[in-house]
Homo-oligomer: A and B are copies of this chain.
Amino acid sequence: MRDYPDIQGAFLKEGYRISRVGVMGLKRPVRIQRPDREVNLVPVFNISVNLPADQKGSHMSRHIEVINRALDLAVGIKNDSLEKLVGRIAKELLRSHDYATYADVELETDYFMERESPDGRRVTENYRLLAEAKIERGDDKPTRTIGVEVAGMSACPCAMETVRSMLKDELLQEGYEPSEVAILDQVPAPTHNQRNITTLKLEFNDDIDIEANELIELVEGALSSPSYEMLKRKGEGKVVLDAHRNPRFVEDIIREIIGRFLERYTDLPGDMILHVRSLSEESIHKHDAFAERISTLSELRG
């Protein structure tokens, strides 16, 4: 067979090191075998390795070969979690690219989960899953990240109190008695609310298998309310009331998630990094509001 020139392998005398070289936006279906169910996902992958100063190029097709091998059920590889899958790919990248000392992979995918709506229906809700792994040659294990992205509802606590105050003033001016008006303190007042997108990511070095479903439930519990694809009139009312009884800034959502996480997962390693980010697509503004916290568990445990 004819041997075509290996341009990538060419030796460079005065090159510069490349921090990362790889492929972005590779779509490939993935099947994960969880203990209790099989999950079909369609992730988008980004994959890269570093490149020493004296080598002209990286062999990009090896990236794809690694992905192919990792996903090929035919050869008997069983992926039982996303974090194992990305960890396996990262290690395999270093094996394939012998000139590289660093490799990483990240993926993002739609994910669906059955939830019970407030009016008691089973609904299929849509989320996003994220997973990453990066490894330095010599590392015992890759650093892995798993994460969930959840859309739900945030309701503003500040505007609610301003509105309550304005409504009471108006009624008093119309001649109502303070005692009559006081009932407005017993019920939530209107406020602006909106679609909120919150992401929770965990970065760790040990072998940890956290159920994405649990992370999703944890995040949903920290929003003003989860959102649902299917609500009849009563369910809609309950969601709105729920959100207005839990009005939350993006800052509140971040803190609520941290608090719930620390309470729920007490034995995770202190060097695990928590990355929480919440974005509200403000209904009263054309821009979005966001907050984030990145921290180790040790630091958060104080």
Interface residues of A (CB under 8 A from B): 1-2, 4-8, 12, 15-29, 40, 42, 48, 51, 56-58, 60-61, 64-65, 68, 110, 112, 124-126, 151, 153, 156-159, 161-163, 165-167, 169-171, 174, 176, 180-181, 183-184, 186-195, 225, 227-234, 236-241, 243-244, 249-252, 254-255, 258-259, 279, 281-295, 300
Q: Looking at the complex, which one of B15, B48, B240, B292 makes contact with A284 (CB distance below 8 Å)? A: B240
Q: A8-B158, A162-B236 are in contact. Are A190 and B192 (CB under 8 A)?
A: no
* Contact across chains for B291 and A20 when beta carbons are under 8 A apart: yes
* Contact across chains for A291 and B18 when beta carbons are under 8 A apart: yes
Q: Looking at the complex, which one of B48, B158, B236 makes contact with A290 (CB distance below 8 Å)? A: B48
* Contact across chains for B23 and A258 when beta carbons are under 8 A apart: no
Q: Looking at the complex, which one of B165, B240, B290, B294 makes contact with A192 (CB distance below 8 Å)? A: B240
- Cα A190 to Cα B153 with chains together (Å): 14
A262 to chain B, nearest CB (A): 9
Chain B residue contacts of A288, Cβ below 8 A: 23-25
* Contact across chains for A124 and B163 when beta carbons are under 8 A apart: no
Chain B residue contacts of A153, Cβ below 8 A: 192, 283-284
